[in-house]
Structure 1
Amino acid sequence: MSILRISTGVVSGTMIKSAAAGLVLLGTAFAVTGQASADEVIVGLVTKTEVNPFFVKMRQAAEEEAKAKGVKLIARAGKFDGDNEGQVTAIEDLISAGAKGILVTPNNSTGMLGIIKKARDAGVLVIALDTATDPADAVDATFATDNFEAGVQQGTYARKALGDKKPVLAMLDGTPGGTVDTFRHNGYLKGFGLAEGDPAIAGSAITNGAQDKGQVGMENLLSKNGDINAVYTINEPAAAGGYAALKSFGKEADVVLTSIDGGCAGVRDVKAGKIAATVMQFPYKMAAMGVDAVVDYAASGKKPSGFVNTGSFLITDKPIAGIESKDTEWGLKNCWGD
């Protein structure tokens, strides 16, 4: 399989038709014109960003599964977490290119509804990966972590790890408008045993799931309240930023910092004691299942439906009685389902 990486420009229909059957197009700012040939199956993948390791792994899985199934993958992404407009444009291009199915991780769970309907009305199978739409039945199916339950796992562990200490909680949230952010945030609070607005919540910061914003957000929260002893994080990049801030304040040993992702880097941070526990999810499985579903749809016309939970596990080297978990040795062998 050949791989063509393009950052800007236009890929003509002639170029697409003359490329090898296994061609994968990767990029963030190009248009795809022309139609697929009658016998080729195009699978589109539209992720939130190209740089977040979670979505890098998802794209890798889609590339490998597409190659194994003999179909063409066109992978696109938003320019940043929250780039709803960029994702809409990407799906427009994939419809024009003749994609049989599109796998999408929506930046905004309601902002994609119009373009998703347009794709489905054109006969394109649309599957949400990782992030559900709102309403959930706006897509044909969703293959994802149960993000509310993952949040519950994180919060339950954090509260018990805190022991008898009175909680002073900081929350490093992701990007407003996405179901992942909402479900994980609310799940954590349920697991921790707090309601939204509880005075035990010292404050929150929007990180967009990025390390630099996680660090700045945590620094700001610590400047306002130095008694913080528990930190929720939307993902492991935000947790890495949060840890850097805690360390700069000399607080890294006094705070229960937890996360969700289960990437190899995050598991290593758990092993090193930077993160007390993380909840592993499986983006590789999500993407591979998505490609397989599009291939099946192209062959039989059969569509998947509903929500498919791709699973999650709590990873920690400091297990707590009554909470099911795996250690980092297991985590490093299974990170992100590779």
Structure 2
Amino acid sequence: MVGTLLLGAAACGGNQESTGGDGTQKVTIGLVTKTETNPFFVSLRKAAADAAKEDNAELIALSGKFDGDNEGQVAAMESLIARHVDGILITPSNTTGILGAIAEARRQGILVIALDTATDPEDAADATYATDNFKAGRLQGAYVRAALADRDPKLFMLDGTEGSTVSQQRHDGFLSGFRIKNDSPEIRGRAITNGDRNRAQAAMENLLQRTSDVNSVYTINEPVADGAYTALAARGLARQVTIGSIDGGCDGVRDVKAGKYAATVMQFPVRMADLGVAAVTDFVRNGKKPSGFTDTGTELITDKPVRGLASQNTDWGLQRCWG
């Protein structure tokens, strides 16, 4: 588990004292992300810190060591429970493995909100603010298939973390949008990347050793898309391959603008963080408890639009990337 970020007033977790004459209660919020280094979670963490500061709350931010580090996330949850925080925002790496820690937090009266990734079952957390990841995958798949026009698909699939709910939802959504099944012969190769750029580059290099007859690539996120592009470009194959992705980070939108990959599906982690922080502070100060799943939105970003799919261009994307 990586380090801790403390922002706001120096209050003990769960402190319900007034901050002054206005009757506003101090609020302590824990945030547990999948990793500390993935740009998506860096943006989410910064947004949560900014929102907490604006709401006169304290944020304690922890994370796993890597995507899939359930033990690290459980340890982070236990630490936050011991500190008696008022609420915990978590992006679960293992949507079932974290359930025991979530149940204990809720048993002790701590509000638990899932961000980015719903728990399994979804109602294990009090509420969820996240991307509809199946929809995001379906948008990527529909775009890549349309961009191929009349060419027969020859597809590589670069997935995230094995057993990850997000990875599976995006994978299944892509297949739906691409209009093929998991065992279709159009899929020429697959690899697990854990959402990591370097692993994705190595995976693509290995796939290309088997066959270079490829014209389309599914990627779980933009670091993976960048790694895939680098490997393809090194072999002089980048121009013949349509790469799609999901994230909508500013670097990713710039990569689409530069032609490294054809399109990305933008997510909104700042919106997730803002909603999560607001929900905890509203619960503590006003007793309003959130519930259910809130879709925080997706937008297809490309400078090469296709018929039948609504999209925004990269200039629009650069104005809103990870907002």
What interval of TM-score do these two structures reach, taking the shorter chain for normalisation?
A: over 0.9
Looking at structure 1, the residues matched to 159 and 194 of structure 2 have their Cα atoms a distance apart, in angstroms, of: 7
CA offset at residue 228 of structure 1? 1.3
Which residue of 1, 9, 12 maps to 1:22? 9
Match of 1:220 in 2: 206
Looking at structure 2, the residues matched to 199 and 313 of structure 1 have their Cα atoms a distance apart, in angstroms, of: 30
Q: Does 1:300 align with 2:286?
A: yes
Which residue of 167, 173, 190 maps to 1:204? 190
Match of 1:43 in 2: 29
Which residue of 257, 265, 285 maps to 2:271? 285
Which residue of 165, 190, 210 maps to 1:179? 165
Match of 1:264 in 2: 250
- Tell me the TM-score normalized by structure 2: 0.94
What is the root-mean-square deviation in Å for CA atoms of aligned residues? 1.7
CA offset at residue 58 of structure 1? 0.2
- Tell me the TM-score normalized by structure 1: 0.90
Match of 2:20 in 1: none
Deviations 1:47-81 (CA, angstroms, capped at 9, x unpaired): 00110010000011100100000010000011111
Q: Is the 8 A contact 1:131 1:180 kept in 2?
A: yes
Looking at structure 2, the residues matched to 23 and 330 of structure 1 have their Cα atoms a distance apart, in angstroms, of: 39
Residue 195 of structure 2: SS of its match in structure 1? coil
Give the 3 Å change call, closer, same or farther, for CA 199–297 of structure 1 in structure 2: same
Looking at structure 2, the residues matched to 258 and 21 of structure 1 have their Cα atoms a distance apart, in angstroms, of: 39
Looking at structure 2, the residues matched to 236 and 80 of structure 1 have their Cα atoms a distance apart, in angstroms, of: 17
Q: Which amino acid aligns with 1:55?
A: F
CA offset at residue 22 of structure 1? 3.0
Q: Which amino acid aligns with 1:22?
A: A
How many correspondences in the alignment? Answer: 314
CA offset at residue 300 of structure 1? 2.4
Residue 253 of structure 1: SS of its match in structure 2? helix
Looking at structure 2, the residues matched to 178 and 99 of structure 1 have their Cα atoms a distance apart, in angstroms, of: 27
Which residue of 312, 316, 320 maps to 1:326? 312
Match of 2:100 in 1: 114
Q: Does 1:235 align with 2:213?
A: no
Q: Which amino acid aligns with 1:284?
A: V
Q: Is the 8 A contact 1:228 1:255 kept in 2?
A: yes
Deviations 1:17-70 (CA, angstroms, capped at 9, x unpaired): xxx85359xxxxxxxxx7543323110100001100100000111001000000
Looking at structure 1, the residues matched to 10 and 244 of structure 2 have their Cα atoms a distance apart, in angstroms, of: 40
Residue 336 of structure 1: SS of its match in structure 2? coil
Match of 1:148 in 2: 134
- Structure 2: runs of 5 or more not aligned: 18-25
Which residue of 90, 114, 125 maps to 2:111? 125
Q: Is the 8 A contact 2:200 2:224 kept in 1?
A: yes
